[in-house]
């Protein structure tokens, strides 16, 4: 048995999807690193799949557990199966069956990297997701605030060493032992529930992808970037429609193959956000925040250097993608509806301080010493 498992719920009408995933899983030789487990709704479904496609995989059949249930079944399948398998693996990765593997990668390295970094990826969304938030945090005494939406922005990796505590703190351990699934609703998205647990109890943070989307950045096909950060993130999975905005070196899995639509940018009121994510504004804001204490002054050059380095990396990633796909070039600031309002931000202290710092460095006004070393900035 491997140390990693891909857990895939499926049902009769989606067996073709599940089979294609299984074939890609084997063809890319991930079966040498991970087990594959399908979750079926009935024994008849399991037999029908085996008869039609065969294959080597584990299976979980929830015929008795799902009897007379109609609400939140997909979330029950995922969370209950996770509960059943938690002691068998180091990591469990849950995907929907409309996914496909496109290449082999080191899965254990990816999983350990996720656990070490303690980061979830979030974005602002145009959707009203209050119901999802409420149905996800209701399981816990600690309730992180509703801020950025992170559903499917990262691969749904479950470190099994957290699962006993997760099921205990959520109350689902006792519920599942009694086959009680009443707390789980359609909006209790499995990885939103687990993500809020990671934030509340395991010190995970949400990294802002600095863009607006209909829902999640990875999940959907239209986004409005405030900066170039989304172009530089090391994603391991992608919606096929937005694959070309990502670094393909790391993407090994395509999701949501049932949502094939054209990718595009949203022309929304985001010009103010774009200004706030420009280098000048971010540097000036950091200078103001770090000038409030002696310790802040000491760490200021390191903070400014970090902002500059991240900005350069994002710009390089963006330019690499634009070179291959010129149609993905971001629209000029003046094309956004709120341009006239946004341009006023250039008169704010944050922007002016950062702009002055960049100009001072570019003409050699600041040189030598620790500040000079760290503040070699590009416009």
pTM beyond 0.85, yes or no: yes
Do residues 64 and 203 both lie within one domain? yes
Res 358: pLDDT: 87
Kindly tell me if the per-residue pLDDT of 66 is higher than 50: yes
Lowest mean per-residue pLDDT among 139-143, 338-342, 374-378: 374-378
Kindly tell me if the per-residue pLDDT of 368 is higher than 50: no
Q: Is 379 among the domain residues?
A: no
Last residue of a domain, one of 205, 236, 265: 265
Do residues 258 and 315 both lie within one domain? no
Mutual angle of helices 190-201 and 73-85, in 10-degree steps: 50
Count structural domains, the chain: 2
Average pLDDT (67-75) is 87
Res 370: pLDDT: 41
Res 260: pLDDT: 67
Domain with 314 in it: 271-374
Kindly tell me if the per-residue pLDDT of 259 is higher than 80: no
Average pLDDT (12-25) is 96
Last residue of a domain, one of 199, 231, 265: 265
CATH number, position 225: 3.90.550
159 or 221: which carries more pLDDT confidence? 159
Do residues 195 and 322 both lie within one domain? no
Residue 325's pLDDT band (cuts 50, 70, 90): confident
Mapping DSSP onto H, E and C, the string for 196-263 reads: HHHHHHCCCEEEEEEEEECCCCCCCCEEEECCCHHHCCCCCEECHHHHHHCCCCCCCEECCCCCCCCC
Do residues 76 and 215 both lie within one domain? yes
Do residues 255 and 176 both lie within one domain? yes
Do residues 250 and 315 both lie within one domain? no
Do residues 283 and 182 both lie within one domain? no
Do residues 154 and 138 both lie within one domain? yes
Res 297: pLDDT: 87
Average pLDDT (182-200) is 97
pLDDT tens-digit readout, 105-159? 999 999 999 999 999 999 999 899 999 999 999 999 999 999 999 999 999 999 9
Q: Is 332 among the domain residues?
A: yes
Do residues 55 and 111 both lie within one domain? yes
Last residue of a domain, one of 213, 247, 265: 265
Do residues 215 and 93 both lie within one domain? yes
Do residues 211 and 344 both lie within one domain? no
Residue 69's pLDDT band (cuts 50, 70, 90): confident
Q: Is 249 among the domain residues?
A: yes
Do residues 185 and 278 both lie within one domain? no
């Amino acid at each position: 048995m491997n140390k990693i498992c891909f857990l895939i719920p499926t049902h009769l009408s989606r067996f073709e999807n599940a089979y294609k995933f299984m074939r890609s899983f084997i063809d890319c030789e991930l079966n040498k690193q991970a087990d594959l487990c399908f979750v079926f709704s009935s024994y008849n479904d399991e037999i029908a799949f085996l008869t039609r496609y065969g294959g080597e995989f584990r299976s979980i059949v929830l015929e008795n557990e799902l009897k007379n249930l109609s609400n939140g079944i997909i979330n029950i399948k995922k969370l209950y199966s996770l509960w059943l398998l938690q002691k068998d693996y180091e990591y469990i990765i849950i995907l929907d069956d409309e996914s496909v593997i496109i290449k082999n990668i080191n899965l254990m390295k990816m999983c350990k990297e996720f656990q070490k970094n303690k980061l979830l990826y979030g974005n602002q969304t145009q959707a009203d997701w209050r119901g999802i938030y409420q149905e996800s945090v209701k399981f816990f005494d600690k309730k992180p605030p509703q801020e950025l939406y992170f559903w499917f922005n990262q691969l749904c990796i479950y470190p099994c060493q957290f699962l006993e505590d997760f099921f205990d703190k959520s109350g689902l351990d006792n519920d599942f032992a009694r086959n009680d699934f009443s707390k789980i609703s359609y909006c209790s998205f499995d990885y939103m529930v687990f993500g809020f647990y990671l934030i509340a109890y395991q010190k995970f943070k949400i990294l802002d992808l600095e863009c607006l989307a209909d829902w999640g950045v990875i999940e959907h096909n239209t986004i409005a970037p405030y900066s170039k950060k989304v172009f530089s993130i090391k994603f391991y999975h992608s919606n096929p429609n937005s694959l070309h905005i990502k670094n393909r070196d790391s993407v090994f899995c395509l999701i949501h193959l049932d949502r094939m639509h054209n990718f595009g940018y949203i022309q929304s009121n985001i010009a103010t956000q774009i200004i706030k994510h420009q280098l000048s504004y971010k540097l000036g804001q950091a200078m103001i925040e770090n000038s409030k204490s002696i310790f802040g002054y000491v760490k200021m050059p390191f903070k400014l250097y970090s902002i500059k380095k991240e900005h350069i990396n994002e710009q390089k990633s963006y330019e690499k993608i634009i070179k291959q796909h010129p149609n993905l070039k971001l629209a000029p600031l003046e094309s956004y509806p709120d341009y006239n309002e946004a341009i006023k931000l250039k008169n704010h202290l944050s922007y002016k301080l950062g702009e002055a710092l960049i100009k001072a460095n570019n003409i050699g006004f600041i040189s030598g010493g620790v500040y000079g070393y760290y503040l070699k900035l590009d416009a």
